[in-house]
């Protein structure tokens, strides 16, 4: 079932930048340049725009930006609201710092920190407890793709990572083929379309009208040169951007895909 099949209202896209473990205070000038450009464009940008900086910069970016409607998100959160968890950040802390969303289940967290679908599920609940939108990441490795397991892997991650009773306002799904992140490689448009259609069908089957309205982002080597093509694929409702979001010029080049 596609967005049109479900009779959904048009979905406002989201372009979110994930800075990962990059950026000191001087890098805030890049984020603020994006905010200023959005302010100048006004209603000419038909998408929401977000930057998810390191936790050390969430508060200061939230306080300095907003003139152009730039939203701020976190990159991860702990499942608990407080406690003896040295080095971790609670969803409530991110919300208190000015974040409106948090990325959970990114492939780098799944691989580097052993996060399972169950843990991601708990982090989505934590995000909602704090009033944050959860950007839930799913995606296959190159071995899984070569074995023809892409749809099975992504469907399993969707089922295990997203709790019941979520809405289009509280969950965003980001499909990021692991093998394309930071490599410069991207799937063929028809491959992206196939995965995004399956995700939409699963969301609609499970959540009905809310599933039809959920944003499904594409991530994995999104850059200005391929943004228009990727963002034009059915059921692609924006992008989760890695390295290109560190440069205002490159990030704005991607956002340009949504200029009226």
Q: Which residues are catalytic?
A: 106, 176
SS (H, E, C) the chain: CCCCCCCCCCCCCEEEEECCCCCCHHHHHHHHHHHHHHHHHHHHECCEEEEECCHHHHHHHHHHCCCCCCEEEECCCECCCCCCCCCCCEHHHHHHHCCCEEEECCHHHHHHCCCCHHHHHHHHHHHHHCCCEEEEEECCCHHHHHCCCHHHHHHHHHHHHCCCCCCCCCEEEEECCHHHCCCCCCCCHHHHHHHHHHHHHHHHHHHCHHHHHCCEEEECCCCHHHHHHHHCCCCCCEEEECHHHHCHHHHHHHHHHHEC
């Amino acid at each position: 079932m596609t967005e049109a099949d479900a009779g959904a209202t048009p979905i406002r896209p989201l372009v979110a930048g994930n800075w990962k473990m990059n950026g000191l205070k001087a890098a805030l000038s890049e984020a603020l340049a994006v905010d200023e450009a959005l302010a100048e464009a006004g209603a000419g940008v038909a998408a929401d725009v977000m930057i998810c900086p390191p936790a050390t910069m969430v508060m200061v970016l939230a306080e300095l930006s907003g003139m152009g409607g730039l939203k701020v998100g976190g990159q991860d959160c702990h499942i608990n609201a407080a406690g003896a968890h040295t080095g971790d950040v609670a969803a409530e802390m991110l919300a208190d710092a000015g974040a409106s969303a948090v990325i959970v289940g990114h492939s780098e967290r799944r691989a580097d920190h052993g996060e399972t679908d169950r843990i991601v599920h708990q982090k989505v609940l934590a995000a909602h407890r704090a009033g944050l939108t959860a950007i839930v990441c799913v995606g296959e490795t190159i071995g899984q793709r070569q074995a023809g397991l892409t749809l099975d892997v992504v469907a399993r991650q969707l089922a295990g990572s997203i709790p019941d009773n979520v809405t289009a306002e509280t969950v965003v799904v980001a499909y990021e083929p692991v093998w394309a992140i930071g490599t410069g490689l991207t799937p063929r448009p028809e491959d992206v379309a196939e995965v995004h259609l399956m995700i939409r069908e699963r969301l609609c089957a499970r959540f009905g009208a809310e599933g039809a309205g959920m944003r499904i982002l594409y991530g994995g080597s999104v850059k200005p040169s391929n943004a228009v093509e990727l963002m034009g694929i059915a059921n692609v409702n924006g992008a989760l951007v890695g390295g290109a979001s560190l440069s205002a010029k490159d990030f704005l080049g991607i956002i340009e895909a949504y200029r009226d």
